[in-house]
Structure 1
C-alpha cells in the first residue's frame, strides 16, 4: 500500500474536521430546528386564539363615552318636559302665565293626569285617518288636559299662545272665542306633558 503524502493527509484531516463539524452541527441543530418548528406552530395558534378573544370581547373603552352621551341625551330630553306636577302646581303655572299677559281668568278646569301615547306627527295623522287608536312603540307620557277661560283683549290671548309655544312642554290644543253681550271670553285648551 502506498503512503499518503503530506498534502493528502492535510486534505483528509480537513475533510474529517468538516465531516465532524457538519455531523455535530446536524446532530445538535436538527432537534433544535424541530423544537423551533413546534414552538412556532404553538405561537401561531396562540396568536389566532388571542385575536379571536379580542374580537369577541366587549370594548369597554368606549363605554364611558357612550354613558356620558346617553346621559346628556336624557338630560336634554328631560329639559323639554316638566317634572311631574300636581294639580295645584299646574293651576299656579297656568294662572300666573294668564295674569302676566294681562288676562283675567274666568274658569280653570284641570282633568286628572292621563297616560297618553307618544306619537310622531305621521303616526298621529295615520291614526286620525284610520280612526283607530294604535299603540305607540315609543311609550307614554303623563298629560294634564287643562281648559282655561279668560276675558281680555284678543291680542293678549295671542301673545299668551305665542309664549306657550316657547315653553317646555305646554302646548295649546284648541282655542274658542265667544262674545256674549259685552263679555268676550276665550277658552284655551292646553296639554301639559310631564316626564
Structure 2
C-alpha cells in the first residue's frame, strides 16, 4: 500500500466528496429536475385542454338552452295558425266574413302556395293566397280589413281602393298542412 501524507489524504477526501456531489447532481438531481419540468409542461398543456373543454361544454349548454327556447317559441307560433282547410273551407270562411260585412264579390281567386311550405316543430304549414275584387260600403270594407288584420293566421299582402265602392285586396291564410 502507498503511504499518503495528510495533505494528500485531505485532497483525495475532498476530491472524493466533490465527485460524489457532482455525480449525484449529474445522475440524480438533473434527471429529476428535467422530469419535473416535463411534467409541469404537460400539466400546463392539459390545463389548457381542460379549459378548452369547459368552454365547449359551456357553449353546448347555452346552445342547448337556446334550442329549447326556440322549440317552445315554435310551439307557441304553431298555435297561431289554424288547422288545415280545403279550398271549399277557405271559400266558405271568406264568404261568411264578406256577408257579415255586406260586401259583394266580383272576382275571387284562391291560390295554393305549395312553394311556401315550411317546417314548424315537425308539422308542415302551408299557405293559400286569396285575391278579391269587392264592391260595397267603404266603412264595411274597412271593418272587413280590420277583422282580417286581427287574425293571427292571415297576412295582408295588398290593398287597393279603386273607388269609393270598389276595392281589391290580397291576403294569405297560413294553416297546418293536411295530415
TM-score, scaled to structure 1: 0.51
1:173 is aligned, of 148, 158, 162, to 158
**1:115 to partner: Cα distance:** 4.4
Q: Please show how residues 46-125 of structure 1 align to structure 2 within 5 Å.
A: 46-52=43-49, 54-55=51-52, 58-59=56-57, 60-75=60-75, 78=78, 84-99=84-99, 101-104=100-103, 106=105, 109-115=108-114
What per-residue deviation string (whole Å, max 9, x for no partner) do you get for residues 28-66 of structure 1?
787256325403412322431442464377432223212
Call closer, same or farther: CA 1:150–1:35 in 2, change over 3 Å. same
TM-score, scaled to structure 2: 0.54
1-side partners of 2:139 and 2:113: how far apart? 32
* 1:164 aligned partner: 148
1:106·1:151 contact (CA, 8 Å) conserved in 2?
yes
Q: Does 1:192 align with 2:173?
A: yes
2-side partners of 1:111 and 1:83: how far apart? 17
**1:144 to partner: Cα distance:** 2.2
1:146·1:190 contact (CA, 8 Å) conserved in 2?
yes
**1:178 to partner: Cα distance:** 6.5
**1:149 to partner: Cα distance:** 5.1
Gaps of 5+ in 2: 1-12, 117-124
| Local SS of the residue matching 1:111 | strand
1-side partners of 2:68 and 2:139: how far apart? 45
**1:159 to partner: Cα distance:** 1.2
1:105·1:148 contact (CA, 8 Å) conserved in 2?
no
Call closer, same or farther: CA 1:32–1:98 in 2, change over 3 Å. farther
| Local SS of the residue matching 1:103 | coil
1-side partners of 2:41 and 2:83: how far apart? 59
Call closer, same or farther: CA 1:32–1:103 in 2, change over 3 Å. farther
Q: Does 1:147 align with 2:128?
A: no
